[in-house]
Structure 1
Amino acid sequence: MNPLQDKRIVLGVSGSVAAYKAAELASKLTQAKAQVDVVLSEGAERFISPLTFASLTGRKAYSSLWDSDAHVVHVGLGEAADLLVIAPCSANTLAKLATGQADNLLTLTVLAARCPVLVAPAMDGGMFEHPATQANIQTLRQRGVQVLGPAQGRMASGLLGWGRMLEPAEILGQLRLVLSRGGPLAGRHVLVSAGGTQEPLDPVRYLTNRSSGKQGFALAQAALDLGAQVSLVAGATAASLPTPYGAERIDVDTAAQMAEAILQRAGSADVLIMAAAVADFRPRQVQPHKIKKNLLPQVELEPTPDILLAVAEQRRRIGWPAVVVGFAAESQNLLENAQDKLARKGLSMIVANQVGVPDAGFAVDTNRVSLLWPGGAVEHLPLLSKSEVAEEVLRRVVALLAEG
């Protein structure tokens, strides 16, 4: 399911102080199990050595047409690549690519490539906004080259402006998105909820839960990796998690806000995965001022909107989403409570996980879950990372969609 696994990625590095970021990108790609061939321009070698990349990737890094005994090395690299990205891409290299120059191994390899080509510009001062650079970028875009960034910020010179290379994590997300096109969920809209809600008690206090949102965000990434269009409704406790690149993110605080966001989008979604830990109760009355410490309050609670029941009603009327997956976090009677929720809320599948154990559930990176279906079928998964759990859930979603 990992779109980068075993893919041949050519990483071009041109002359820029941002070349140090290319080393991190090469490392991340290798950790994602891609086969990374690095090609440095002569200018790049003044900032970073081929040995650095060879050490990070475990593969030879190239810097000259003449430093390899391979037959026509640029053709071999270009023809074998599943994707070619130049990060950083200097103003000079952009100009060469736009005019079709082929005076070094990197530009030769781009001309020989038959795969998607992406460039991440990196340059100082007003160079990016110069009309010549903008014209070169427009030319490359017209030829199908994807331009990643740049970002705005402080340059090596101390100036502020557009020209900073995107961070490696963002570039990695964009590469995953490119390689996931045409996956089994291509053309499908997957709606995912994640994290816990916060129900206000007074202007400074609220009721919440321990959900980190990590499992829901992993589900969003797994859906993206299968080619889906993804909308991610993130509860307040997941506010600090980075958005999976390519997902539409909707941040909410309360259960009522989450219900509104989900119901607005569920009618156009093929799949809803309700992984959020939505608060079951909220204070009936929110105090307008901070409750003083010496005034112990009597808090009366009321139920929050039941989102999955509302989705079930909408689904009966319009038939969408085609697949609805719920989550059940329980501290006791796990399977019995999950089976009851599965039936009451008309779910296609439910993911049940035991909370209160040290290696699974809230605030950790692993999970141990059971999958339940209507009719009584149960599948117990071993302890897995939350990313692996997400992949297993999405495999079942693909199968459910295929069943119609």
Structure 2
Amino acid sequence: MATVVLGVGGGIAAYKCCHLVRRLKEAGHRVHVIPTRSALEFVGRPTWEALSGEQVHTGVFEDVPGVEHVRLADQADLVIVAPATADLISRIAAGAGDDLLTTTVLATRAPVLVAPAMHTGMWENAATVDNVATLRRRGLVVKDPATGRLTGPDSGPGRFPEPDELADMAALLLDEPAAAPTMAGQDLAGRRVVISAGGTREALDPVRYLGNSSSGRMGAALAADAAARGARVTMVTAHIEVPVPSCVRQVPVSSTEDLDEAMRREATGADIVVMAVAAADFAPSSVSDLKIKKHEGDRRVGDRMSLDLIQTPDVLAGLAAARTPGQVVVGFAAETAPDRDELLALARAKLARKGCDLLAVNDVSSGRVFGKVGTDVTVVRQQGPGRRVMGSKMMAAQAILDEARSLLAP
């Protein structure tokens, strides 16, 4: 069980952090909430105490014998500041210690994740830009805000990200604290990353389709991690069962043919292209305009029905063949193999056949991986033993993007 300190700033998005506390608690973590005094104008102390199960303090002169800011700073495995207002960011950047939250941030040696939320004008103000750069230079992880509806009629960058995204980033930082310097350093800043996710569906008639069990969790984890590292991310989504990170651009598709068209278009000018989608290899040769009736004609229970299938476009091979100099193309492979040696042999053969730079291979035997929260993935190059990751899909996303980043030109 990890200890997470959640510092809540005085913005209207403070109410969304109630869900974040719940997610962290459901993951088995102990959560200490430190609201600023202005944050209590939006969500009261009793709510935070009820959700976290811990006493809530705001000032350094509360529970003086306990020296709260030192105790919490020492106990914390992760500190989250959300929503981080322009004022709160400026005070942290200046090294202020005028309340329990800022003194705790000053005193902790744990990773610090900052989630800004404010009006677009404040986010783009030169003072805020400089303060955010200062925090990142010091090793704090600052997640860019989402773009969307703000308080009142305005829209633009500055919207608080979805709490589930922050919970996923927290999971990554808790599972792999070593990821914090990479995320803080924004090693994909200025890069463009295109990621496909989910499972394609090939229509049989207006209501039926051929599909697969992919949930899209791996693609969503890749998108969230790439965005956290500073990339501009486009996510091409077939059928998915998880939310698309609010800080990425989404392009929805349905069939493998749609996917091929969208990925070829979006890959133009991208630095990294990741094919995490589970694309159908075959599709019906024709689609009925009308629903195929179960009891049509003399058809009875147990009667056979034949489908004529045709091969779909090989999207990954096409992207690899058309890539521009310097572009890194990453593929995924779902294989069934009797042992790990055979799994790696299949992966290397597919890597050579497809022509991509990296291949992330899963053994999906016995219902593993598809739709699951955890994963067991090996990132394979033509040479070397491969990099295996067993754990959360956020951990796997970090490893895959580490490998892809290493192949990019400086």
Aligned counterpart, 2:290: 289
Aligned counterpart, 2:385: 378
The answer on 1:63 being equivalent to 2:68 is no
The answer on 1:184 being equivalent to 2:187 is yes
Q: Secondary structure at the match of 2:269?
A: coil
386-395 or 343-352, which deviates more = 386-395
The letter of the residue matching 2:321 is: E
Shift of 1:284: 1.1
Q: Provide closer, same or farther for how the CA distance between residues 309 and 116 of structure 1 changes in structure 2, counting only shifts above 3 A.
A: closer
Shift of 1:55: 8.2
Aligned counterpart, 1:131: none
Q: How far apart, CA to CA, are the structure 2 residues paired with 1:372 and 1:42?
A: 50
The answer on 1:169 being equivalent to 2:163 is yes
Q: Secondary structure at the match of 1:352?
A: strand
Aligned counterpart, 1:337: 346
Q: For 1:145-224, list aligned pairs within 5 A.
A: 169=163, 172=166, 180=183, 182-224=185-227
Shift of 1:51: 9.2
Q: Which protein shows a greater Rg?
A: 1
Aligned counterpart, 1:263: 264
The answer on 1:310 being equivalent to 2:338 is no
Deviations along 1:152-208, one digit per CA (max 9) or x if unpaired, are 99xxxxxx9999x968616838998xx946421111111111111001111111111
Aligned partner of 1:235 among 235, 238, 246:
238
The answer on 1:48 being equivalent to 2:56 is no
The answer on 1:363 being equivalent to 2:368 is no
CA contact (8 A) 2:260 2:313 kept: yes
Q: How far apart, CA to CA, are the structure 2 residues paired with 1:386 and 1:147?
A: 22
Q: Which runs of 5+ in 2 are unaligned?
A: 73-77, 92-97, 107-112, 130-143, 171-180, 297-303
CA contact (8 A) 2:116 2:160 kept: no
CA contact (8 A) 2:223 2:248 kept: yes
Aligned counterpart, 1:319: 325
CA contact (8 A) 1:271 1:324 kept: yes
Q: How far apart, CA to CA, are the structure 1 residues paired with 2:145 and 2:334?
A: 42
Shift of 1:245: 3.0
143-152 or 279-288, which deviates more = 143-152
For these two proteins, the number of residue pairs brought into alignment is: 351
Q: How far apart, CA to CA, are the structure 2 residues paired with 1:171 and 1:390?
A: 14
Q: Provide closer, same or farther for how the CA distance between residues 186 and 53 of structure 1 changes in structure 2, counting only shifts above 3 A.
A: farther
Shift of 1:235: 0.9
CA contact (8 A) 2:190 2:231 kept: yes
Shift of 1:233: 0.9
CA contact (8 A) 1:25 1:169 kept: yes
Q: How far apart, CA to CA, are the structure 2 residues paired with 1:193 and 1:309?
A: 14
Shift of 1:139: 6.7
% of aligned pairs identical? 31
Q: How far apart, CA to CA, are the structure 2 residues paired with 1:311 and 1:150?
A: 32
Deviations along 1:74-111, one digit per CA (max 9) or x if unpaired, are 9xx9xxx998545899xxx99xx9xxxxxx969999xx
Shift of 1:56: 3.1
Aligned counterpart, 2:300: none
Shift of 1:280: 0.5
Aligned counterpart, 2:358: 349
Shift of 1:368: 1.9
Shift of 1:209: 1.3
The letter of the residue matching 1:331 is: T
Q: Secondary structure at the match of 2:187?
A: coil
Q: How far apart, CA to CA, are the structure 2 residues paired with 1:171 and 1:212?
A: 16
What RMSD, in angstroms, separates the aligned Cα atoms of the two structures? Answer: 5.0
CA contact (8 A) 2:369 2:376 kept: yes
The letter of the residue matching 2:268 is: G
Aligned counterpart, 2:136: none
Shift of 1:263: 0.5
Aligned counterpart, 2:408: 401
Q: Which runs of 5+ in 1 are unaligned?
A: 98-103, 121-133, 154-159
Q: How far apart, CA to CA, are the structure 1 residues paired with 2:266 and 2:123?
A: 36
Q: Secondary structure at the match of 1:381?
A: strand
Q: How far apart, CA to CA, are the structure 2 residues paired with 1:311 and 1:148?
A: 29
Q: How far apart, CA to CA, are the structure 2 residues paired with 1:118 and 1:241?
A: 23
Aligned counterpart, 2:9: 12
Aligned counterpart, 2:94: none
Q: How far apart, CA to CA, are the structure 1 residues paired with 2:402 and 2:229?
A: 9
Q: How far apart, CA to CA, are the structure 1 residues paired with 2:204 and 2:391?
A: 37
TM-score normalised to the size of structure 1? 0.67
Q: How far apart, CA to CA, are the structure 2 residues paired with 1:86 and 1:353?
A: 37
Q: Secondary structure at the match of 1:144?
A: helix
Q: Provide closer, same or farther for how the CA distance between residues 292 and 348 of structure 1 changes in structure 2, counting only shifts above 3 A.
A: same
CA contact (8 A) 1:8 1:36 kept: yes
Q: Provide closer, same or farther for how the CA distance between residues 319 and 55 of structure 1 changes in structure 2, counting only shifts above 3 A.
A: same
Deviations along 1:202-247, one digit per CA (max 9) or x if unpaired, are 11111111211112222222222322221111112x1x31112311
TM-score normalised to the size of structure 2? 0.66
CA contact (8 A) 2:317 2:356 kept: no
Shift of 1:397: 1.6
Q: How far apart, CA to CA, are the structure 2 residues paired with 1:232 and 1:352?
A: 20
Q: How far apart, CA to CA, are the structure 2 residues paired with 1:56 and 1:352?
A: 39
Deviations along 1:35-77, one digit per CA (max 9) or x if unpaired, are 976134378289632794598397x74335753649xx99xx9
Aligned counterpart, 2:333: 328
